[in-house]
Amino acid sequence: MPALQKKNSPPTTKLVPLLHPAGGLIYHARAARLANRRWSDFRAEIGGWLNDWQPDTEGLLLVGPSAGYTLSSAFLNRFHEVVAIDFDPLAKLLFRSRHRECRLTQWIEEDIFPVSRAGIDWKRLKIRLRQFPSHAVLFSNVLGQIAMNTPYEDAVERDLGNLPDLLNGRPWASYHDRLSAPFRPTLPGQTAHQNDIELAGTAYREGGEVISHSTALLGQNLPCETFAWECRPRYWHLIEACSANANGPFTDLSPR
Ligand SMILES: C[S@@+](CC[C@H](N)C(=O)[O-])C[C@H]1O[C@@H](n2cnc3c(N)ncnc32)[C@H](O)[C@@H]1O
């Protein structure tokens, strides 16, 4: 049986985005070495999944793209307007040089998911959703990072479970970490949605220490697919991808 762990980060003060473990210099250096080779299968799989996601919008709100190492230009070029949100100050320049034809009209450099003991504060996301009311939203491998740098993982997990309601009426998609471990996961295939313990039991039958990224509730009522991503040599992330179409009225996005 695998030993499922939460990261249990100490109550950190604000991390400098450039040194943030979820992005910044460390991520860019790793991507420079691995994106075109070791990540190529994962990039192709995410590319295929995004190809099947066909929101009927001209605009895209892209959350956490970094330099778009795992995104294809073909996908981005489908949109007439792309607005990116990422607090990494280096990412915009690198994104532009990687996706030259992408119609990137705005780059918003802010912490879009401030976390406190009370959980995720959605105020900033709601403001951006109101500002771009007709854009589809793609969370680009970012939601599984929120719980990694806070001691309040349980509150983060609960609040991520409420995100689909907050986005109701809007086409959106996310691919995000569910679990990570120093072993290649066995993917569950087409099964009912699994909680972390069930998924870890399926994916890591040989046991070992497995990290939960506190995203189990996010896709519980949505169609999901899973992928394996060797993010760094001999360390794999089990990625879940889920999407929702615009079905129903927009949720009231007044600040809470
Ligand atoms: C794992 S990287 C995403 C990888 C990227 N989608 C790709 O294709 O290479 C996560 C990104 O999210 C950004 N990020 C993480 N937490 C954030 C937050 N709270 N607000 C804004 N950006 C955030 C990081 O700066 C980083 O660029």
Ligand 1 atom nearest 64 alpha carbon = 12
Q: Identify whether 255 is part of a domain.
A: no
Q: How many Å apart are CA 51 and CA 17, to the nearest integer? A: 30
Pocket test for ligand 1, best of 66, 138, 227 (most atoms within 8 A of CB): 66
Q: Identify whether 81 is part of a domain.
A: yes
For residue 2, give Cα distances in angstroms to 134, 198, 248: 43, 10, 40
Domain with 118, as residue range(s), is 3-244
Is 139:145 a contact under the CB 8 Å cutoff? no
Give distance in angstroms: CA of 119 to centre of ligand 1. 19
Q: Identify whether 35 is part of a domain.
A: yes
Q: Identify whether 154 is part of a domain.
A: yes
For residue 157, give Cα distances in angstroms to 119, 128, 142, 174: 9, 22, 14, 15
Note the pLDDT tens digit of each residue in 106-152: 999 999 999 999 999 999 999 999 999 999 999 999 999 999 989 99
pLDDT band at 247 (very low <50, low <70, confident <90, very high): low
Q: Identify whether 210 is part of a domain.
A: yes
Please give the tally of structural domains in the chain: 1
Give the amino acid at 182.
P
Give distance in angstroms: CA of 64 to centre of ligand 1. 4
The predicted structure's pLDDT at residue 36: 86
The predicted structure's pLDDT at residue 3: 87
Q: Identify whether 250 is part of a domain.
A: no
226's enclosing H/E stretch is strand 224-232
The predicted structure's pLDDT at residue 249: 37
Count of C-beta atoms within a 10 Å radius of residue 225: 20
Q: Identify whether 251 is part of a domain.
A: no
Q: How many Å apart are CA 87 and CA 105, to the nearest integer? A: 16
Residue 62 Cβ < 6 Å to ligand 1: no
Q: Identify whether 253 is part of a domain.
A: no
Residue 252 pLDDT greater than 50, yes or no: no
The predicted structure's pLDDT at residue 248: 39
Note the pLDDT tens digit of each residue in 5-53: 887 665 554 556 666 666 788 899 999 999 888 999 999 999 999 999 9
Instruction: List the CATH number of the domain containing 75.
Output: 3.40.50.150
Q: Tokens standing for 202?
A: 């399926």
Note the pLDDT tens digit of each residue in 144-176: 999 998 999 999 999 999 999 999 999 999 999
Residue 113 Cβ < 6 Å to ligand 1: yes
